[in-house]
Chains A and B, each alone.
Chain A
């Protein structure tokens, strides 16, 4: 059966597939499997691993730091998602008309999207600097005492949300704009003929027909929101006093600050499970609110 021809064919498949299969197996699948194994052990990266079964998981589920990190991540999402969606939607609706300078303006809104999180975070850390920052200076001129922004426990997460929404609203705009432009003109025409106002036809026709794009935005934002790290790490370092530390930073700290590789691996897998559950739930829920033409 496996003659010279079969070997040659296998060689071709290997030639085309192995360059991606080997690295993916080695540097994605193998570490994930290893994480599962390590998560069942007590291990500080130095001394021999000690089997402790599910202790890491039960410990994490009752741990105050982990709970706080989850709450910070959820708070970030609860502020970020509505803000970035509303900004993106308003921009998409505005750019869905023709006017001179439209492309230039749109490209200005998209510019922060191609900037790195570290630069975005540093720029906003400077703008929102409580002592010497421009924003508090301007607020001061208006007679408003500026808050402590990223240096105060209550404002740390909102500060990172402002920076994130500034970076991402152009991205959301482009996706929703493409969705708006794919809505057939006849639907809006029909609404107009039936005497619907602009407001009514937006909420009764446009918005429902935009739900597939909205669904995409919500999915992407949820998934990236659960993984939020870069901008918070750079702006606040998770502080002050851990007041803004998200889940990914907790994983990082467990490993590199507390030398708890077992706990960090367990938390990585819990985060993975959380993202999977959210994805599946969204997939189920979409039947209730996403309308396809």
Chain B
């Protein structure tokens, strides 16, 4: 295939990939009943009607803030718990280490979809349904993060720790001053994915949350489309609001995100 034809085909395909986003934005600024008439790429009457309705139907600022706070807190917790466990498995010797490691491995195989009902029952027993705590609970620790970070600790030369040890440093100091700075790239990769998966999570918030004020963006959007199923400009306005932060993150860290997905396949 000639190079020109290839580029033309790929560009046409790329437009197809981008178009749904364009259509989302177009619909979000189309005013009132115009949404349900003949579709137009350039709306006859454009305005922020959809956005106004969005904030009228749901406490949308609060919901967006919930998503942001939750994503930041989850990411921070996951980075802390995963990196300390990574250090324990890579650098500490203790009896039963292998058994504990297999235990972590086992949790890796249990997806949220399988866990959702028993976890809900547990949260209900702890009286945490419909609270921020219920949203955070499944994202305090993740075996996936432990494995990812353990790998990057394990490849660091042990001479580094030993030199520090001779200088009188303990494990806490070695972890904070030597190991953590050296695994920054892995922390960044994992942090990005933790943030994205928290931001985009749907099933668990759907189960754990009832009230509007504790909803996250995906749950708020799904509720919106359930209750106002014909208000497409409001629904698309909500979609735009929830895509924008991800777009910014993607624009800033694109290379990093694509590279870590590529690496995942090469193992």
Contact = CB atoms under 8 A, between A and B. Distances in A.
Interface stretch (B58-66, B82-90, B161-169): B82-90
A126 interface: yes
Contact of A213 (B200, B235, B265): B265
Interface residues of A, number: 93
For the residues of B in contact with A, the DSSP-based class is helix
A122 B239 contact: yes
Contacts of B143: 20, 24
Contacts of B38: 137
Interface stretch (B48-56, B105-113, B180-188): B105-113
B174 to A, nearest CB: 11
B84 A107 contact: no
For the residues of A in contact with B, the DSSP-based class is helix
B254 A15 contact: no
B141 A175 contact: no
Contacts of A84: none
B113 A175 contact: no
A282 interface: no
Nearest to B92: A13
B117 A23 contact: no
Contacts of A276: 109
B154 to A, nearest CB: 15
Contacts of B100: 17, 21
Contacts of B20: 112, 123-124, 127, 166
A271 B113 contact: yes
A179 interface: yes
Contacts of A109: 13-14, 17
A117 B218 contact: yes
B124 to A, nearest CB: 8
A268 B117 contact: yes
A130 B75 CA distance: 40
A99 B11 CA distance: 12
Interface in B1-31: 3, 6-7, 9-11, 13-14, 17-18, 20-21, 23-24, 27
Contacts of B120: 255
Give the 9 A-B residue pairs with the shortest CB-CB distance, closest first: A175-B265, A116-B200, A31-B118, A178-B262, A20-B141, A118-B218, A16-B88, A35-B118, A23-B140
18 contacts: A9-B94, A28-B115, A28-B138, A34-B118, A107-B254, A112-B17, A116-B199, A117-B202, A118-B242, A122-B222, A123-B21, A129-B232, A166-B17, A223-B111, A252-B116, A255-B117, A268-B117, A276-B109
Interface of B: 3, 6-7, 9-11, 13-14, 17-18, 20-21, 23-24, 27, 35-39, 80-82, 84-85, 87-88, 92, 94, 100, 103-104, 106-107, 109-111, 113-122, 124, 137-138, 140-141, 143, 146, 170-172, 175, 196, 199-200, 202-203, 206-207, 217-219, 221-222, 225, 232, 235-236, 239, 242-243, 246-247, 249-250, 254, 257-258, 261-267
Interface of A: 9-10, 12-13, 15-17, 19-24, 26-32, 34-35, 38, 45, 91, 94-95, 97, 99-101, 105-119, 122-127, 129, 131-134, 137, 166, 170-171, 174-179, 182, 213, 216-217, 223, 227, 229-230, 233-234, 248, 251-252, 254-256, 261, 264-265, 268-269, 271-272, 275-276, 279
